[in-house]
Amino acid sequence: MLLIRHGVTDAVGVRLTSRLPGVTLNALGIEQVAQVCDRLRDLPLAAVYSSPLERARATAGPIARGHVLDVIELDALNEVDFGEWTGLTFDELSRRPAWARFNAARASADVPGGERAADVQRRIVAALDDLQARHEGAVIAAVSHGDVIRAAVLHAAGASLDLWHRFEVSPASISVIAYAAGSPRLLGVNEVPGRFAFDAP
């Protein structure tokens, strides 16, 4: 299972876009996706799944075309619903006590009008369990978002959601989870263009 974060957008590191429409890859993001496609060129991908958001589909599309596959949209790969925080800049968020609580205790903190981190983790883990059963023995790509991938990585590592800050998931990075007898095994985290460590199977 290759968990791929979408390429960079102008909002990354500036604004919490959540599920806002119209957030697209910038020029660097497009270049990052081309590098990811080049890295994955010789992998025998059986399927490419994507979050329904534009930035994810723009990342998944070239990957799928390079393997003569269609992109399969999967809502379980969607970005976190950040509720009332959607659209705020990180500077604005830094002045909100609820945001500080969320980052200090993600396993239990609420998101005003949005999804709790534990609920995000449940949906992505359930989705990946289903995909690995559907594609047992195959290599598949799933294009999603930073916090969603981080939740899957934390689960595979057996770590608390409160330790989210110990795992970086950069734009256009690849994290790798293998399944043996249904159990996840973390093979790589945050492999980025120009710095890949995993080998093709």
Which of 6, 145, 155, 191 is an active site residue? 6
CATH code at position 35: 3.40.50.1240
**Is 79 a catalytic site residue?**
yes
Mean pLDDT of the chain: 94
Which of 54, 79, 84, 155 is an active site residue? 79
Task: Name the nearest CA neighbour of 142 among 157, 131, 133, 134.
Answer: 131
Would you say residue 201 lies in a domain?
Answer: no
Please state the domain count of the chain: 1
Strand pairing of 183-191 and 174-180?
antiparallel
In the structure encoding, which two tokens stand for residue 52, read together?
A: 């329904």
pTM higher than 0.75, yes or no?
yes
Query: Which pLDDT value is given to residue 183?
Result: 85
Would you say residue 196 lies in a domain?
Answer: no
129-187 residue pLDDT tens: 999 999 999 999 999 999 999 999 999 999 999 999 999 999 999 999 998 876 899 99
Would you say residue 62 lies in a domain?
Answer: yes
